[in-house]
Amino acid sequence: MKFQQIYKKALRLNPITLEEGDLLYQHAPTQELMTLGHEIRKKMVSGNTVTWQIDRNVNITNACFSQCKFCNFYRTSNSDEVYVTSMDEYEEKIHELFNLGGNQLLLQGGMHPHLRLHFYTDLFQKLKQTFPALKLHALGPPEIVHLARKEKTDYKDILKKLMEAGMDSLPGAGAEILCDRVRKLVSPVKASAGEWLDVMKEAHILNLPTSATMMFGHVETPTERIEHLVRIRDLQAQKPPGHYGFLAFIPWPFQDLATELRDRMGVQNSVTPEDYIRMISISRIMLTNITNIQASWLTVGKDTAQLCLHAGANDFGSIMIEENVVSSAGAHSYFDAESIQKAIFEAGFQPQLRNQKYELLDLPPQIHRVSATGNR
């Protein structure tokens, strides 16, 4: 009976409490959670479309002082393997991106101990001058906190200067679990939960489009996952009217291959396909002020991601022309523009290309439209 009361409340799109969300997440039947998530999705996102995107992830540098225990990508600044991507490399990668029909770079990387704000503003300006149509979905809250410390200024000042230089949107990178107990175990040097949220609050005030994420399945408890959702929802509720705020929420499971968390601490990815589907459903149920919920096909694979489209998700993310961070820890799924459309059709939905602002786009001429039968 208790479940039914919460279901009715959720279907009215009323915020359910931490305790109610925790009860559903830990005890409600999976099929009921999926049905509820899907019904709420239909209320929030009309029609039968599932959106997807074309972008490319380019890592600015692999040098990082944070040394998070779940990351295989970083190198210490004195490593022989450290790099900083050159302008020639950017130009080659961006030309390939444009040729494949995309126009956005997801620009991330390590927190290099020696790169200052002017490095990033100069880079963004050069990229925009060379490629005026390019969109930069760049950095993340931990990098903003890092730069603010180095420049001895506030988050607003850093964000404004990056926006003036060409940053179009701010990814939700580095959220992991927004609980400092967890962060002290897996990423003790990285921005705290409060700092992550404070950066996003300033971004929302500046009307910079953002996304929110969660990396789960390591040392956090189920209740801490729900606390994470509540903190995201509460911050979204504070955004100024008419501002972008969080455009999407993307949860993904910890990828454990050869990570310090697994090899030295014995922590393995605990997320089964059913666990991931439940997380998608509870995310849709809890986050009734965030329109888009994305299924992370890169980390869970095609079949599970397709089921998520019947559990509350309405977005399939990007074809990810290039991705190096989670791939280094074991994520190896792959889609191109045609196969991602086919996967969406197979799940019973209509694929729709979008941009980072979730504005709907026509397919560029170099991309073949795939029909419901899988044919061009």
Question: Domains in the chain, please, with CATH?
Answer: 2-57+137-160+167-353 (3.20.20.70)
Average pLDDT of the residues of the chain: 90
DSSP 170: B
- Per-residue pLDDT, 367: 85
- Per-residue pLDDT, 325: 47
Q: Rounded to the nearest 10 degrees, how much is the dihedral formed by the CA atoms of 125, 128, 134, 135? A: 30
- Per-residue pLDDT, 373: 58
pTM, two decimals, is: 0.93
- Per-residue pLDDT, 327: 44
User: Which amino acid is present at 195?
Assistant: E
Q: Is 304 exposed, middle or buried (0-12, 13-18, 19+ CB in 10 A)?
A: buried
- Per-residue pLDDT, 333: 58
**Residues in the chain where the model's pLDDT stays below 50:** 323, 325-331
Structure tokens at 369: 């439209």
Any long-range contacts for 44-47 (C-beta under 8 Å, 24+ apart)? Answer: 44/13, 44/284, 44/288, 44/291, 44/314, 45/291, 45/292, 45/314, 47/350
Task: Please say whether the beta carbons of 331 and 299 come within 8 A.
Answer: yes
DSSP string, 174-243: T-S-S-HHHHHHH-TTSPPHHHHHHHHHHHHHTT--EEEEEEESSS--HHHHHHHHHHHHHHHHTSPTT-
Q: Is 264 exposed, middle or buried (0-12, 13-18, 19+ CB in 10 A)?
A: exposed
pLDDT, tens only, 132-164: 999 999 999 999 999 999 999 999 999 999 999
- Per-residue pLDDT, 331: 41
Strands (E), the chain: 49-53, 56-59, 104-108, 135-138, 210-216, 246-253, 292-293, 315-318, 350-353
Task: Enumerate the β-bridge partners of residue 286.
Answer: none
pLDDT, tens only, 260-283: 777 677 777 888 999 999 999 999
Q: Quick check: helix, strand or coil at residue 15?
A: coil
- Per-residue pLDDT, 376: 55
